[in-house]
Structure 1
Amino acid sequence: MPNKPSESLPGKFLEQLETVLDPQEIQDFRKSLAKASPTSIRFNPHKPISSASNMDPVPWCPTAYYLPERPSFTLDPSFHGGAYYVQEASSTFLHHILSTIQLPPSSIALDLCAAPGGKSTLLSSYLGETGIVVANEVIKSRAQVLKENIIKWGLGNTIVTQNDPSHFSDLEGFFDIVLVDAPCSGEGMFRKDPAAISEWSPENVSLCVARQQRIIDQVGALPKGGGYLIYATCTYNRKENEESIAFLTREFAYDPVRIPVREEWGIRESEIAVEDDTYYGYRFFPHQVTGEGLFISVLRRTGNSDQSVGLTKEFRHSHLKRVSPKDIPEEISSQLDSTRAIRLYQLGESYFAIPEKKQPIFEKLADCLNIRYFGVELGQVIRGEWLPSHEWALSVLEKKNIPRLELSRDEALKFLKKDSISADNSQKGWLLITYLGLPLGWVKNLGNRVNNYYPKAWRIRS
């Protein structure tokens, strides 16, 4: 049998750990690694959810809960419909931070290293209809996973981009909040992912520090004056945490932000002295919190840097174009919610919707960044025929006057496997598939058969 994580920790790691933990605590820390990782989820407040009566709440996030055991999420249709996100409990501390700093709901947020999407979807829920989130991931395969999770979450207030941090240079002073969940040595994942232990080395820590400082140097000027930068890692050592904060505050002008934490939460506050200021960091250790390892720090940008954005008369883009009201397909215009002011764009044969108030912001971002997804894709017109998109089905945008077909759990799983399902012949045409009132996708009832339009790449294979 393979060694338990607690039995195979590198000696250099343990030496390093003694700089952030009292020596007598090391044994408790090692014992915690032998225990099973807790499983937690965060509900989507904008979609129908099941009862949380048998779950314990995560104390710092009102929509997050611990599960008594880890189920098969793949076989839960609600998971595929975006009713909740499986997120490690420590990471949901971001909600407590946003509430403490009272981030305005109309904010522009950047999640720089966003995949797979836990913190981006949390930001999306927090900001709701009036804010906008830029969820960025530089690695193509991870950006695809991020895109899928944003689509499932379905709020339509997020733009998925695939850019290196250096590509944001034209957006200095643009964001109200920037989250840097920096790539790190992964010490906080030793219990959840024992492979991280074999990959750890002092040399890898040094490599991560260099990468973090490069990122900090390129994004430190992105928050506007009075805006916030949140720096986080899933590691414990001071080199990747306190020393990165010291590097940031020597390069850029930031004020400290102290976040109140309750003693019973078990979160450790550390002080980071830089010249005449004291900054604050917060560590999560698995022997003290019900969660995995995390470090997080909050800073507020000083000065008056603020990049204003206005709507230009013309929008010239190599791929995107504005859609005028006269060019909107009837299938879209008949479904638009008159209470929601939106703007439409066309990409190839697909139509996308974004909130009207966010149009100038979106067009500025589209001119600067490589956009992988934005708003809500509504559908395509191919050879004169309207095909509603899976993205629209999963979104919270209203789908007026469209008949729905409610399925049982077993039937919903057949749909998610892209198997054939049956429908009443009295309902012809496009049907919105739902499970417990939660939209899952589309079928088209042709009378003699029902075509399943669940995306092939997303289908359940088990």
Structure 2
Amino acid sequence: MIKSEFFDIIIKSINRYYDINHKEFLYSFNEKPHIAIKVNPYKKINHLFDLLHISDEVSWCSDAYYLSDRPDFYKDPLLYAGAYYVMDPASMFIDYIFKNLQLSNDIKVLDIAAAPGGKSIIVNSNLSNNAVLWSNDTNSNRAKTLNYNLIKWGRANNIVSNAKISDFHSLQNQFDLVILDAPCTGSGFYRKYENWQEHFSIEYIKRCANRQKEILKDLIPIIPLYGYLIYSTCSYTSEENEDIAKWLISHGFEEVHLSIPDQWGIIKSKYGYRFFPHLTKSEGFYYVILRKIENKQSKFQNFNYNKKNQSSIRLQAPPHIDFENFIDFNDEIELKKIRQNISLISSSIAKWMDWKGFFFNGKVLNVGTTFIHENKKIPSPQFALSIYTSNSIPQLHLNISDALSYLQKKSFKLNTDKGIYLVKYLNLALGWIKIIDDDRFNNYFPVDWRIINM
């Protein structure tokens, strides 16, 4: 339950732009949060609806569904196979925005504060093979989670980094669309995480709003003229939402309006769109879609950079490697050597990175899908989870008990011939295993990914 003093602060802030029904809004804090999943369109399986007790569709997102109850996701091997991703329904609105912006087929998208990865996953699902998604997070641990979630989604058209926003100044005017899910008070999730209220205050709202402006000052110069910015928060306060949108409009942007069905319950504010739990089947959320129509970044600071201080990312022709017959090649992917990895990357990334050299000073965690490390004798776990594995690979199909043992890196009984196998559960890949003899095998599921607590 939300504390009365915090509720009063939130109501006063919301009412600056929208006259909310206080009683219905307050009552919604006593209701259970809705549970929803985004289904991976590249890894659809039969009977998923029955396995997860799927009820209704999420109106504003394709392949997205509410669940009638919350299963124990961490005991479901399909989660680790990348069959679906669990996220709040309001976060899925990025799908509707993306589909209605009429973007080009070869768009480049930067999701600058992307962890844990829900919005990036939805954008990735909408991108053609000619497009590029760059997902970043400034926090190293969150960036690792982001990378893992995109690996599970299985495509080779994305780059993942752990970098400061200023590291992207060498890539000015490169991105057609920039997404900022800004750090905020998190007040929109207070019925889901009640302990977040411990930090809430008027002073905390001000600190968050100031931080959002500082992030945007760093971000605005990266966005090209006529490029798009999608700004969002999981906060109710106007200081973090409409006030920021108004500030952006005063700094060279115009709002892009969408046509939204009334029955969805999404509120059109003076600036942007609001999700309230008593009106939508979701938590509290805010979006505004903006287009840059004037360059005003000189108001902030000069972002000149020197390539001598930048790190280059070089793509090289790969050496001869084993297991190349494991790859289901198509015209849109290429095999390249990037540092010590042999990776599958989209042709669009290859073309972009080969263009006059590629300089970036942040830490790049992943480019495309790692196929194999040059010093390893077995394909990468990333490749096992990709959508590019050939049907000719020897496969080992496990029941749920053995699949969970595999994901925990525990021993279990196998009765099959020696060799390397792609481990599968319900026909979706989990990773690699090498059978040595009747009683021994090597489990190549990464230690960092394993299930620790059941």
TM over 0.5: yes
Equivalence for 2:44 = 48
Distance 1:251 1:225 in 2: 12
Deviation at 1:172, TM superposition (A): 2.0
Matched-pair identity in %: 32
Deviation at 1:370, TM superposition (A): 2.1
Cα contact 1:217–1:248 (8 A) shared by 2: no
Distance 2:83 2:128 in 1: 15
Distance 2:337 2:172 in 1: 26
Distance 2:202 2:448 in 1: 39
The amino acid across from 2:364 in the alignment is I
Cα pair distance change 1:127/1:460, threshold 3 Å: same
Equivalence for 2:245 = 245
SS of alignment partner, residue 272 of structure 2: strand
Deviation at 1:334, TM superposition (A): 6.3
Equivalence for 2:451 = 460
Equivalence for 1:434 = 424
For residue 434 of structure 2, the aligned residue among 439, 444, 447 is: 444
Cα contact 1:235–1:293 (8 A) shared by 2: yes
| RMSD of aligned Cα (Å) | 2.3
Aligned length: 434
Equivalence for 1:268 = 267
Equivalence for 1:369 = 362
Cα contact 1:113–1:181 (8 A) shared by 2: yes
State yes or no: 1:351 paired with 2:342.
Answer: yes
SS of alignment partner, residue 442 of structure 1: strand
Distance 2:238 2:314 in 1: 48
Deviations 1:307-364 (A, max 9, x none): xxxxxxxxx9968653325x2313336636254441412333x322211232142456
Runs of 5+ consecutive residues of structure 2 not aligned to the other structure = 297-308
Alignment of 1:105-120 (within 5 A): 105-120=105-120
SS of alignment partner, residue 431 of structure 2: strand
Cα contact 1:331–1:386 (8 A) shared by 2: no
Alignment of 1:25-44 (within 5 A): 25-44=21-40
SS of alignment partner, residue 52 of structure 1: helix
Deviation at 1:10, TM superposition (A): 5.0
Runs of 5+ consecutive residues of structure 1 not aligned to the other structure = 272-279, 306-315
SS of alignment partner, residue 31 of structure 1: helix
Alignment of 1:407-426 (within 5 A): 407-426=398-417
Alignment of 1:92-171 (within 5 A): 92-171=92-171
SS of alignment partner, residue 367 of structure 1: coil
SS of alignment partner, residue 429 of structure 2: strand
Deviation at 1:410, TM superposition (A): 1.6
Distance 1:334 1:458 in 2: 23
State yes or no: 1:404 paired with 2:399.
Answer: no
Distance 1:131 1:244 in 2: 29
Distance 2:3 2:71 in 1: 25
Moved over 6 A (4+): 316-319
Cα pair distance change 1:206/1:243, threshold 3 Å: same
Cα contact 1:322–1:344 (8 A) shared by 2: yes
Cα pair distance change 1:318/1:90, threshold 3 Å: closer
Alignment of 1:184-203 (within 5 A): 184-203=184-203
Cα pair distance change 1:6/1:27, threshold 3 Å: farther
Alignment of 1:196-235 (within 5 A): 196-235=196-235
Distance 1:270 1:338 in 2: 45
Deviations 1:85-131 (A, max 9, x none): 10100011111111111223321000011010000111111104221
Distance 1:22 1:239 in 2: 16
Cα pair distance change 1:124/1:365, threshold 3 Å: farther
For residue 323 of structure 1, the aligned residue among 308, 316, 329 is: 316
Equivalence for 1:332 = 324
For residue 342 of structure 1, the aligned residue among 334, 338, 344 is: 334
SS of alignment partner, residue 142 of structure 1: helix
The amino acid across from 2:124 in the alignment is S
Distance 2:4 2:202 in 1: 19
Cα pair distance change 1:332/1:250, threshold 3 Å: same
Cα contact 1:114–1:137 (8 A) shared by 2: yes
Deviation at 1:296, TM superposition (A): 0.3
Deviation at 1:161, TM superposition (A): 1.1
Distance 1:108 1:239 in 2: 30
Equivalence for 1:13 = 10
Equivalence for 1:60 = 60
The answer to which of 438-447 and 329-338 deviates more is 329-338
Deviation at 1:242, TM superposition (A): 1.4
SS of alignment partner, residue 41 of structure 1: strand
Deviation at 1:188, TM superposition (A): 0.4
SS of alignment partner, residue 226 of structure 1: coil
